Amino acid sequence: MKEAVNCSIEQRNAAVAQLSIADHRRDQAGLTYVYPVLSRRARGVSIGINLNRNRACNWACVYCQVENLRRGMPDAIDLDLLERELEDFLQEALQGDYLLRHVAQARCRRLADVAFSGEGEPTAAREFTAAVARVAAALENRALQGKLPLRLITNGSLIDRARAGLAILARVGGEVWFKLDRGDAAGMKTVNQTPGDPARALKNLQSCADIAPTWVQTCWFATNGNAPDAAAEAAYLDLIAQAAQRIRGVHLYGLARPSKQPGAENLSRLSAAAMRAWGERIRQKTGVRAVKVSP
């Protein structure tokens, strides 16, 4: 089986173009669960772990770039295959020439992290905790714990069922990037296609931060040419302020890849100046430790 995995990587390498922040396809290396992407926020090559191969998620964010996204839960995970794929990709990236061939800019030619992300909510997988344990062990086997960060990118809605996995993440020096795009119920419903419950979102965020180091990640953009209004800003600032002393900071980012969801044509990026100004207001008004802006 290991030979088949290696062959798949090599076949895909022969055809794949340069990695790009505008292209986060999950088949970049021809593997089932492991995929490399060039990440703006991680500032290098992120090794993605996709536990949602069936493109099922419990949310349907309007900016999501997953094509044919559907509501639901992930299929069963082949943990042995996931572990083999990760070990083989790490081997090629660290000791082969994968980064040289597929990353154009030398400053980005580095492994930035291993991240549970993919085509749906990772913590929805029944095997989530076991998958975190397998990935942590693979990093430990290569003496990468503490050197190559392990991250979970999550919408935070299932934190209660993910506690054991979060504890493993924290033990190996990992962190969580917790999605919080809006602070009001109407905004959450519109952007994330969820019922929208700010109090529950805050409770989940605080619970997550109490278990593992946690950053909030926020996608901020215009709809029909209009940025979020003053009421939306105020609700967001209030919610973040209530968690400010528990979280590490905020990753504020704009649209980099086209949405594949209905209504995508109504979304647009805000200017870099507007994003930086909003990031500064978040810092000043909420008392968070850090705000990192990726326009």
Report the C-alpha gap between 136 and 149 in whole angstroms.
10
Q: What does the pLDDT read at residue 41?
A: 65
Q: How confident is the model at residue 16 (pLDDT cuts 50, 70, 90)?
A: low
Task: Name the strand (E) or helix (H) holding 87.
Answer: helix 79-95
Whether residue 8 has pLDDT greater than 80: no
Domain ranges of the chain: 2-294
Whether residue 5 has pLDDT greater than 70: no
How many residues make up the chain in this entry? 295
- Tally helices (H) and strands (E) across the chain: 9, 12
Q: How confident is the model at residue 128 (pLDDT cuts 50, 70, 90)?
A: very high
Q: Residue 174: what residue type?
A: G
Whether residue 277 has pLDDT greater than 80: yes
Higher pLDDT, 208 or 18: 208
CATH superfamily of 2-294: Aldolase class I (3.20.20.70)
Report the C-alpha gap between 194 and 188 in whole angstroms.
6
Which of 12, 24, 81, 96 shows the shortest CA–CA distance to 51?
81
- Structure pTM? 0.89
